[in-house]
Chain A
Amino acid sequence: MKLLKRILYFVGLPIALILLWWVLTLGEVNFYTPKPGQLVETFFEVWFSERFFDDVLPSLTRLAIGVVVAILLGIVLGTVIGSVRWLRQLFEPLLEFFRAIPPPVLVPLLLLLIGVNDQMKILVIISGALWPVLLNTVEGVRAVDDVLGDTTRVYGIRGFARIRYLVLPSASPQIMAGIRQSLSIALILMVISEMFASSSGLGFTIIQFQRSFAIPEMWSGIVLLGLIGIALSLIFQFVERRVLHWYHGLKELHTS
Chain B
Amino acid sequence: MPEPKKRRAALPGPVLGAIGILLFLVLWEIVPRSGLVDTKFLPPASDVVVRLVEYLGDPEFWNDVAETMITWAIGLGIAAVAAIVLGLVIGSSTFLRRATHSTIEFLRPVPSVALIPLAVLLFGIKMESTIMLIIYAAFWQVLLQVLYGVADIDSVANDTAKSYGLGWFARMRYVVWPTTLPYLMTGLRLGAAVALILAITGELLIGSPGLGKQIALTQAGGATTSMYALVLATGLIGVLINVVARAVERRTLAWHTSVRGEVVV
Contacts and interface: CB of A to CB of B under 8 A. Distances in A.
B41 A96 contact: no
Interface string B72-108: 0000000000000000000000000011111101111
B114 A89 contact: no
Contacts of A191: 111, 113-114
Interface in A69-113: 85-86, 89-94, 96-109, 111-113
B140 to A, nearest CB: 10
A196 interface: yes
A95 to B, nearest CB: 9
B20 interface: yes
Nearest to A106: B231
Interface residues of A, number: 57
Given A102-B234, A107-B204, A113-B37, A187 B106 contact: no
A229 B16 CA distance: 40
Most buried by B among A17, A85, A215, A232: A85
B246 to A, nearest CB: 11
Nearest to B16: A89
B112 interface: yes
Given A97-B239, A113-B42, A226 B17 contact: no
A86 B20 CA distance: 10
Interface string B119-158: 0111000000000000000000000000000000000000
A99 B193 CA distance: 10
Nearest to B219: A108
Interface stretch (A8-16, A35-43, A45-53, A162-170): A8-16
A90 B18 CA distance: 7
B9 interface: yes
Contacts of A229: 109-111, 114
A103 B210 CA distance: 16
A53 to B, nearest CB: 21
A192 B109 contact: no
A194 B102 CA distance: 30
Contacts of B121: 32, 210, 215, 218
Contacts of B113: 188, 191-192, 195, 203, 225
A232 B105 CA distance: 12
B18 A93 contact: yes
A225 B200 contact: no
18 contacts: A13-B100, A14-B103, A89-B20, A96-B239, A97-B235, A104-B205, A105-B215, A108-B219, A109-B228, A109-B231, A184-B109, A192-B205, A196-B205, A222-B117, A226-B107, A229-B110, A229-B114, A233-B109
A188 B133 CA distance: 12
B116 A112 contact: no
B247 interface: no
A30 to B, nearest CB: 12
Of the four ranges (under 10, 10 to 19, 20 to 34, 35 or more), the interface on chain B belongs to 35 or more
Contacts of A178: none
Given A108-B219, A207-B116, A229-B109, A11 B242 contact: no
B29 to A, nearest CB: 15
Interface of B: 9, 11, 13, 16-21, 23-24, 37, 41-42, 98-103, 105-118, 120-122, 193, 196-197, 199-201, 204-205, 212, 215-216, 219, 224, 227-228, 230-231, 234-239, 241-242
Contacts of B122: 32
Nearest to B242: A100
Interface string A220-237: 011001101110110000
Given A94-B24, A102-B201, A191-B113, A108 B216 contact: yes
A13 B99 contact: yes
B211 to A, nearest CB: 9
Contacts of A207: 116-117
Contact of A221 (B16, B23, B114, B234): B114
Given A86-B9, A222-B114, A229-B109, 18 more contacts: A17-B103, A86-B11, A86-B16, A89-B16, A90-B17, A93-B17, A94-B20, A104-B200, A105-B200, A108-B215, A109-B227, A203-B113, A222-B115, A222-B117, A222-B118, A226-B109, A230-B109, A233-B109
